[in-house]
Amino acid sequence: MKTIDLKKLRKEMEKEQTAKRYEHTLSVAYTAASLAMVHDEDTEKALIAGMLHDCAKCIEGKKLVSICKKNNLEMSEIEMKNPSALLHAKVGSYYAKEKYGVTDEDILYAIQYHTTGRPDMSRLEKILYIADYMEPGRKHAANLAQIRKMAYQDLDKTLLKILEDTLAYLQTTDDQIDDMTLKTYNYYRNISLQ
Ligand code: DGI
Ligand code: FE
Ligand code: FE
């Protein structure tokens, strides 16, 4: 993996993001690193993925759509209709590569799928997805205490719980559910039944 200057990334995120988002970014990076320590993942990769996962979150929805069009990044109808929630992950992964020099595919996929997950995620992908949900600054998500304990014991079980809670939450809103979120849920539910 090409060496990435984490300190430099941190400064760039501080510049790109609102104070609140930057605080979340740091929390996700360190939470991901602590999960990486327990689950034998590369802590450096976890830090980079955490630091960059929301690098496109402070770009407004319309701009995210135009960035995708300009750079031939495919968009589904649901992504186009919910750009801020869904496209920041895709554009974030694109920026991680093109703007911040990340070449490691595992990190790029972890960023790309940090919002919806995907079936058969790598260990790093799971760690980022979970860290994003459970970082200490999160206050309103469901079952946080249980999820924070579980995350240090069983990544797949934790993923399933978060996916269940996310789907339940989305059903209380007008937001459309992305196919990938459903596919991920079904995949990890099936695994839990085996
Ligand atoms: O960017 P963050 O706020 O840190 O976290 P995130 O990237 O996980 O995005 C969070 C939001 O994305 C959260 O409110 C749930 C939402 N989300 C997850 N799956 C779907 C979704 N939103 C829609 N519309 N459809 C989904 O399938
Ligand atoms: Fe995000
Ligand atoms: Fe996030």
Domain residues for the domain of 48 are 6-193
Residue 186 has pLDDT above 70, yes or no: yes
Task: Please report which confidence band the pLDDT of residue 146 belongs to, taking 50, 70 and 90 as the band edges.
Answer: very high
Task: Please report which confidence band the pLDDT of residue 163 belongs to, taking 50, 70 and 90 as the band edges.
Answer: very high
Residue 2 has pLDDT above 80, yes or no: no
CATH number at residue 81: 1.10.3210.10
- Please report whether residue 189 resides in a domain: yes
Sign of CA dihedral 15, 116, 103, 69: negative
- Overall number of domains in the chain: 1
- Please report whether residue 10 resides in a domain: yes
Quick one: which H or E segment has residue 11?
A: helix 6-16
| Mean model confidence pLDDT for the chain | 97
Tens digits of per-residue pLDDT, 81-95? 999 999 999 999 999
- Please report whether residue 37 resides in a domain: yes
Sign of CA dihedral 9, 28, 180, 126: positive
- The label of the residue with tokens 């206050």 reads 139
CA of 3 to the centre of ligand 1 (A): 30
Statement: the pTM of the whole predicted model exceeds 0.95: yes
Check if the beta carbon of residue 9 is closer than 8 Å to that of residue 100. Answer: yes
Write the single-letter amino acid at 193: L
**pLDDT of res. 3:** 82
Q: Give mean pLDDT, residues 50-78.
A: 97
Residues in the ligand 1 pocket, defined by CB under 6 Å? 24, 54, 57, 82, 85-86, 89, 114-116, 132, 166, 170, 175-178, 181
Ligand of minimum distance to the alpha carbon of 31: 3
Ligand of minimum distance to the alpha carbon of 51: 3
Q: Which atom of ligand 1 is nearest to the CA of 116?
A: 19
Q: Which of 83, 80, 93 is nearest to 54 (CA)?
A: 93
CA of 92 to the centre of ligand 3 (A): 11
- Please report whether residue 1 resides in a domain: no
% of the chain exceeding 90 in pLDDT: 95
- Please report whether residue 87 resides in a domain: yes
CA of 133 to the centre of ligand 2 (A): 9
CA of 135 to the centre of ligand 2 (A): 12
Task: Please report which confidence band the pLDDT of residue 1 belongs to, taking 50, 70 and 90 as the band edges.
Answer: low
Residue 10 has pLDDT above 90, yes or no: yes
Residues with CB under 5 A from ligand 3 (ion): 54, 132
Residue 37 has pLDDT above 90, yes or no: yes
CA of 22 to the centre of ligand 1 (A): 17
Residue 165 has pLDDT above 80, yes or no: yes
Residue 107 has pLDDT above 90, yes or no: yes
- Please report whether residue 81 resides in a domain: yes
CA of 194 to the centre of ligand 3 (A): 31
**pLDDT of res. 142:** 85
Residue to substitute in 22, 147, 166, 171 for testing ligand 1 pocket (most ligand atoms within 8 angstroms of CB): 166
Q: Give mean pLDDT, residues 183-193.
A: 97
